[in-house]
Amino acid sequence: MPTLEDAAATALAGRALADPFALVKDSGGACGVLIVTVVLSSCKPFGQLPWVLVRKARHLT
């Protein structure tokens, strides 16, 4: 898997990358994981965690 340094050295040498979209695919995958994490933390599809409910109940009494 090429790194950014490998891509820069290859570009400066005037050669083509073996997989020119490898960096784009990796960045896209990282963005996808970040989006899923943000959506899950915002929507909370499984409800609140049990210890959060206990803490809220203690705070109300």
Which of 7-21, 26-40, 41-55 has the highest average model confidence (pLDDT)? 26-40
pTM, two decimals, is 0.49
Is the pLDDT at 15 greater than 90? The verdict is no
Report residue 61's pLDDT band, with 50, 70 and 90 as the boundaries: low
SS3 49: coil
Please state, in angstroms and as integers, the Cα–Cα distance from residue 26 to each residue in 1, 15, 37, 52, following that order: 10, 21, 17, 35
